[in-house]
Every structure is written in structure tokens, then in C-alpha cells.
Amino acid sequence: MRIRPSTDGTAVTPALVLGSASATSLAVIRILGRKGIPHFSVGTRGSFVSRSRWHRLCPDPQGKEPSPSSLPQCLARLPFERMALIPCTDQWVAAVADLDPSLAARFPASMAPHETIQILLDKGRFAETAVQLGVPHPRTICLGSQDDLAKLPDVAFQDAFLKPRNSRAFSERYGVKAIRFNTRAETIAFVLEARRAGFGAGRGWRRRYHRVPAS
């Protein structure tokens, strides 16, 4: 695969879009394509994203479809000396953040430090950090696997919604990023069902936001 030279005669570093069947992945490859930046994608095979005229599947010598867990092995096999990584989902962001320094140097990405990434991806830690730093934020209650919703005050159920700690896993199961509810009973029933599905403390710790009136 040949990469066109830039105006000064040097090779343009291609981008590797780590995506999914999402509007985000499609938007990224469109921007790169319209700017004339060479790019390839993984995680988009067979999806509506692959129908874009700008879509180019990443050439893997073994013909395997990479996943976040196999990203290091995939990068080591690529026939490029250097590529810029653009992760488009939480799972890909976490995979890039966990890359060995030697691979990270060869495949750079414009991302925050590893610890910051972990805080941003884990919605429970994000809420706790906002409190610690004194950052204005909606009032939040983090629910553990043993917390009893029946003991929460009525105000906790007013104009609120449930948001998972692990957004990706939750979205894959329920098709949404958050759940709105109207009554205490409705909330308790959903949380109990979610816990039975494996969204307990840690993997799917529920995050409840309350709107903060404008000052």
C-alpha cells in the first residue's frame, strides 16, 4: 500500500481509525478523506460505515478483524513504520491508553494521560473526582451492588436518570446510554434486573444524575 508524499516530498503519516458501527467512526473517516489524509479503519467491517466512499479497511497480513484486546498484536503486524491512532469508542480509547511505550511511540494518539483516561471512562470515578476537585456538576449518587434503593429519600427520584458506570457494556445490552424513570418502583425494578444481568458494583455501577438549577 503506497502512501502519497506531502508537499515537501516526505511521506504523509496515515491514520488508523479504531472504530465501530457508529456515526462517530463515519464522521472521522469523512473528515480525513476530505482533507486528503490517508487512513484505514478497523472495527467497521460490514457496517454502514463501510459503505462510505472514504472507507478503507486496515490491511492485516493475517486477515483478522482486530479487537481492543488484540490491538498490540494487530499493530505489530501492520506494514507501516508509523501511524496515528484515532480511537472512536471507550474500549478503543482504553486499549490505546494501555499500549506498551514502544508501540505507543510508533503509533501515537492525541489523548490525555493514562490515569486521566481511566477516570473519564469509569463514570463512578468521574463523579468522585468532580466532588474532590470541587467542579460544578449535577448531584450524583453512586450505587453499589448492595445499596438499597428503597431507603433513598424521595428527592433522589425526582427529575433524575440512571447512567451506567460501564457505558459500552450497558449500551450493548440495552441499546441506550442512560435510562429515565418516573417512579421509585420503576427504578428499583430496573436496577434489580440490571444487577441480575451482571451490572453490579465495579462493572456496571449505576450513576444517578440530578439536574442542578441554573444559577
pLDDT in tens, 140-173: 877 766 666 777 777 777 777 888 877 777 777 8
Q: Which residue has the higher pLDDT, 41 or 64?
A: 41
Question: What does the DSSP assignment read for 104-126?
Answer: HHHS------HHHHHHHHSHHHH
Q: What is the pLDDT of residues 95-121, one digit of tens each?
A: 999 999 999 999 999 999 889 998 988
Which pairing describes strands 39-42 and 15-18: parallel, antiparallel, or unpaired? parallel
* pLDDT of the residue at 145: 62
Which residues, including other chains, have CB under 8 Å from residue 196's CB and lie 6 or more apart? none
* pLDDT of the residue at 28: 97
Positive or negative CA dihedral for 93, 110, 15, 73?
Answer: negative
Residue 60 confidence (pLDDT) above 90: no
Is the separation of the CB atoms in 121 and 93 below 8 Å? yes
Answering whether pTM is above 0.85, one says no
* pLDDT of the residue at 147: 65
